[in-house]
Chain A
Amino acid sequence: MKDKIIMKEELGKILDKYPAAAFKGRKGHTLIVDQCLAPQEMVADTRTIPGIITERGCTYAGCKGVVVGPLKDTIAITHGPIGCGYYSWLTRRNKARKNEGEDQNFLAYCFSTDMQEADIVFGGEKKLRAAITEVVEIFHPKTIMICATCPVGLIGDDINAVAVWAEKELGVQTIAFNCEGYKGVSQSAGHHIANNGLFKHIMGTGDAPKKEFSINILGEYNIGGDGWEIERLLKIIGYNIISIMSGDGTVERLRSAHKADLNLVQCHRSINYVAEMLREKHGTDWIKVNFLGIESTIQSLRDTAKYFNDPGLIERTEELIEAELLAIGPKMEKYIEICKGKTAALFVGGSRANHFQGLFKELGMETVLAGFEFAHRDDYEGREVIPTIKANADNKNIENLVVERDEKSYRLILSEERYAQLSKEMSLNYFAGMIKVMNDGTVVVDDINHYEMESFMKLLKPDVFGSGIKEKYVIHKMGTFSKQLHSYDYSGPFAGFKGAVIFARDIAMGLTTPAWKLIKPKWKTEPMLEGNYIEEVG
């Protein structure tokens, strides 16, 4: 890694190209890690500057696309013109299947009210009501989710009233999400809105039978089957998984989420609201886990077992770890041989740029740049900064549910002493953020944009850039391998022990595929002496 003083100078040069206002807007979003200066403050979750080629999406994408969309047994109707529903249809790789006892999976379907000009002028509620009526007649869903797009809020369609109407007239529970794209500053506001809606209307309405070692997996979207792999491990140990929010998840299982003894939080950014609200209302603790990377997986499994403090669980956990390590055996080694000493840059979502660093480390690769698209300060600096995050015009208009303790269901599993002890040993109701795990001189960039990505590529020359589809082909055009860490380039699972091997294989494959060595044509690398040719021809 380059010297941090040099890095700071280089960073200054990159930002200097911005016009004054844009410079002001961007300067706090980038820092060079310097653990001597800890805690280092990031600026995050602020407006994107107009005209910047941002990689961010909108509130609708966070609500419908990320959190609500993967719930397979509900019909999510996008109320708006056709585009939003269309683009969020099957594009995120949140896999789902009909498991035993499940009879509905609507994920291959896209439902839209396809608003037309007349609906914009005269209001779209009538069409939305008709759409719901038709959907109920054809599909008989148990629940319906209405997701709003930009014009809905502007023309004042009351989707909440329509939801109430649908429930009364058609007998189908219907939940409205006011996730218009212009709200908030990124997808993040949409996660919050989705968390609120599902917490308010779904969680706590179910009555699953009480079983020991009951958990929810929160913030796991089953991209490439990650959730299935995590579930497989946890089930072998003996946990009762009440619900998954929301990959391969169902609304019906989510109803009993409050019955869990513990919540495991994989993606902190998108789901911490629900984790906290379940804690406030029902007393359920959560721990921050990470099932990406072998070490992180082991740590997460051990933390979970330790929380329950059951000798059987602890023993089965160790047995499973041993068995899984034995099963992957030396498979990682040949990939490590290829990857070690190389560097990675990561720009993903609100958690993965953090989650994947350990996995790269296990391949012998240092992460030289990491950043999130829509994270908040706590994802960078740790939850301790939450009380100091200032409210602004954008985050103030996203509802913050006031949750009261439910005396009937509220229970604390840990004694005060044990709580204090475990808080020291694991991320109990806490997330440390990304910066603390990064090396001095590495770069952290929030809400990276095209210009900064190009500049940092030139400066840092990482061997792999882990990002999304919008960035991938830019990186490839530069002659560097890019791995999609949203969709996994249609591979996976990457979670757990076996997933780590698949990830290692993918990275090794991407680094060594012969294409990279064929970029320069021979006539540009070999001497082209005309004389020789004439001689030969002659």
Chain B
Amino acid sequence: MLDHTPKECIERKAIVINPAKTCQPLGATYAALGIHNCLPHSHGSQGCQMYFRSHLSRHFREPVEASTSSFTEGSAVFGGGSNLKTAINNVFAIYNPDIMAIHTTCLSETIGDDIPTYIAEAKIPEGKFVIHANTPSYVGSHIVGFSNMTKGMVKYLSVNSNQPNGKLNIIPGFVNPGDMREIKRMLKSMGAEFIMFPDTSGVLDAPLTSNYNIFPEGGTRVEDIIDAGNSIATLALGSFASADSAFELKKKCKVPARTLLTPIGINATDDFLVAASRFTGKEVSMELEEERGQVIDIMADLHQHYHGKKVALFGDPDILIGLTAFLLELGMIPKYVLTGTPGEAFEKEVCPMLEEAGVDGKVKAAGDLFALHQWIKNEPVDLLMGTTYGKYIARAEDIPLVRVGFPIMDRGVHSYLPIVGYRGAMRLVEMISNTLLDRVDRDALDEDMELIM
């Protein structure tokens, strides 16, 4: 497995090998799916949208419907305006969404297609919306694409109509529907009123009833995104995927913005609940406090199984920052933390966390899994945490893998269950300790097998 990866690291400036990121439009598609009755639309070659749909479907095991401008060589030369106008006509005539969310691709960005002009010239049925985001694939990553599309929602839709709604805006970031549900559950438990956008719960974890609808029940209502301009404040969960949209809302509608870590682990969840409580005036519920106590209880009871273990982590920046914080809370050693998404901000945020904990680790933005593998070859770890792609390194180096993040394409159910909040923390402890214990069992001599651990 991965036999051609040498231990010796050669500095690479050009080739990316085994990426830990993908392109912006995938994130834009995912964000757009978090609006109720929305059809994401990719302005580029049809292969792009085929790839996003397939990839998202493999992770969520759900239908992912999205349209495309289906560029030909002619449109690449003469511009995609006519394709987009045809597409807008067809989308509303055939699928009849409330809103169409257009993102660009490397193709349409390279030729400089002016989407706002095309939208202005298109025939949009009364009462329907068309929004767009520029998502050039040669900048950033899928996380930036998610951020840009969410920002597009604010730019096109949110309005401050001087009618304060008493609600708190939540931008959850590129997390699973299971996480979005958990964030909403926590807020509901406090009795706080909120608007979460985007919200893919009910869209990408919809039930099987045999009554198929191209637009499932879930997703943020367009009127709620409009009303987000009247909210008390915005909590952006995760600086990479959510902060820009919160600031856009502040700029456009004067809604105060606050960026927090993705609420993974104890302190980050505490911070989220404290902020939610302060802005809404609602107290953190006894139910949540009880859950918190349960997690602390579990951490005290199980620490001997994971404390001091070295971990290599890879994935998307907001989730990694949250996970790094939580691993430190667990007494584990986040030895390597690597994201494919570029941005110095990542290293600036994670390095001090490791320094403060006295961890001699490596942190890298714009990295790839080939580099991570080489680090592990040079100084091994006890556990790998990351996406499905990690299984090849895990096998090559014989280290256990905890699957977390996006995408997970070789296991099911993960997208329904949270890693955020105290419930998510509980789940992470279970996954980490079970994985390590399964390994202990696997490696134990017959005489060392333990009934009770």
Q: Which residues of A contact B (CB under 8 A)?
A: 17-19, 21-22, 47-61, 77, 80-89, 91, 104-106, 108-117, 119-120, 127-128, 130-131, 133-135, 137-139, 149-151, 153-155, 180-183, 185-187, 393-394, 397, 450-451, 454, 468-470, 472-474, 476-479, 515, 519
Q: Which 8 A-B pairs have the closest CB atoms?
A: A58-B47, A479-B210, A83-B23, A51-B90, A51-B87, A130-B14, A181-B45, A81-B137
Q: A108-B1, A116-B138 are in contact. Are A54 and B95 (CB under 8 A)?
A: no
Q: Are B14 and A81 in contact (CB under 8 A)?
A: no
Q: A82-B141, A150-B76, A454-B212 are in contact. Are A87 and B51 (CB under 8 A)?
A: yes
- A515 → chain B, closest Cβ, in Å? 8
Q: Is B379 an interface residue (CB 8 A)?
A: no
Which of B22, B72, B392 meets A87, CB within 8 Å?
B22
Q: Are B71 and A182 in contact (CB under 8 A)?
A: yes
The answer for the CA separation of A182 and B137 in the assembled complex, in Å, is 15
The answer for the CA separation of A224 and B208 in the assembled complex, in Å, is 28
The answer for the CA separation of A438 and B91 in the assembled complex, in Å, is 33
Which of B1, B50, B106, B107 meets A57, CB within 8 Å?
B50
The answer for the CA separation of A182 and B46 in the assembled complex, in Å, is 8
Q: Are A53 and B65 in contact (CB under 8 A)?
A: yes
Interface size on B, residues (CB 8 A): 78
Among B10, B55, B137, B214, residue most surrounded by chain A Cβ atoms (within 10 Å): B137
Q: A82-B137, A185-B72 are in contact. Are A110 and B47 (CB under 8 A)?
A: no
Across-interface contacts of A51 in B (CB, < 8 A): 41, 67-69, 86-91, 94
Q: Is B335 an interface residue (CB 8 A)?
A: no
Given contact pairs A47-B70, A61-B47, enumerate 20 new A-B contacts (beta carbons under 8 Å).
A18-B93, A19-B90, A50-B84, A50-B87, A54-B50, A58-B46, A81-B23, A82-B16, A91-B58, A111-B16, A112-B19, A115-B138, A116-B139, A117-B136, A130-B13, A134-B10, A151-B138, A469-B57, A470-B53, A477-B208
Chain B, Cβ-Cβ closest to A129: B14
Across-interface contacts of A450 in B (CB, < 8 A): 65, 95, 214
Q: Is B413 an interface residue (CB 8 A)?
A: no
A sample of 25 inter-chain contacts (CB < 8 A) reads A17-B94, A47-B72, A50-B86, A50-B87, A51-B67, A51-B86, A51-B91, A51-B94, A54-B68, A80-B137, A81-B23, A82-B19, A83-B51, A87-B54, A106-B4, A109-B370, A111-B16, A134-B13, A138-B4, A139-B4, A151-B107, A185-B72, A469-B54, A470-B57, A473-B63
Q: Which positions 208-243 of chain B face chain A at CB distance < 8 Å? A: 208-210, 212, 214
Q: Are B111 and A154 in contact (CB under 8 A)?
A: yes
The answer for the CA separation of A19 and B14 in the assembled complex, in Å, is 47
Chain A, Cβ-Cβ closest to B88: A51
Q: Is B3 an interface residue (CB 8 A)?
A: yes
Across-interface contacts of B63 in A (CB, < 8 A): 470, 473-474, 477
- A503 → chain B, closest Cβ, in Å? 22
Q: Which residues of B contact A (CB under 8 A)?
A: 1-4, 6, 10, 12-19, 21-23, 25-26, 41, 44-48, 50-51, 53-55, 57-58, 61-76, 83-84, 86-91, 93-95, 105-107, 110-111, 136-139, 141, 206, 208-210, 212, 214, 340, 370, 392
Among A104, A133, A181, A473, residue most surrounded by chain B Cβ atoms (within 10 Å): A181
The answer for the CA separation of A52 and B92 in the assembled complex, in Å, is 10
Chain B, Cβ-Cβ closest to A140: B4
Across-interface contacts of B54 in A (CB, < 8 A): 87, 91, 468-470
Across-interface contacts of B106 in A (CB, < 8 A): 80-81, 83, 115, 120, 149-151
Across-interface contacts of B69 in A (CB, < 8 A): 50-51
The answer for the CA separation of A289 and B225 in the assembled complex, in Å, is 56
Chain A, Cβ-Cβ closest to B138: A81
The answer for the CA separation of A109 and B5 in the assembled complex, in Å, is 10
Across-interface contacts of A470 in B (CB, < 8 A): 50, 53-54, 57, 63-64
Across-interface contacts of A52 in B (CB, < 8 A): 67, 70, 90, 94
Q: Are A54 and B46 in contact (CB under 8 A)?
A: yes
- B396 → chain A, closest Cβ, in Å? 9
Across-interface contacts of A139 in B (CB, < 8 A): 4
The answer for the CA separation of A182 and B113 in the assembled complex, in Å, is 15
Q: Are B70 and A48 in contact (CB under 8 A)?
A: yes
Which of A110, A120, A134, A137 meets B110, CB within 8 Å?
A120
Q: Are A117 and B139 in contact (CB under 8 A)?
A: yes
The answer for the CA separation of A501 and B47 in the assembled complex, in Å, is 34
Q: Are A58 and B87 in contact (CB under 8 A)?
A: no
Q: Are B67 and A104 in contact (CB under 8 A)?
A: no
Q: A22-B93, A83-B25 are in contact. Are A477 and B212 (CB under 8 A)?
A: yes
Q: Are B16 and A113 in contact (CB under 8 A)?
A: yes
Across-interface contacts of B13 in A (CB, < 8 A): 130, 134
Which of B46, B61, B71, B210 meets A473, CB within 8 Å?
B61
- A68 → chain B, closest Cβ, in Å? 15
Q: Are A109 and B2 in contact (CB under 8 A)?
A: yes
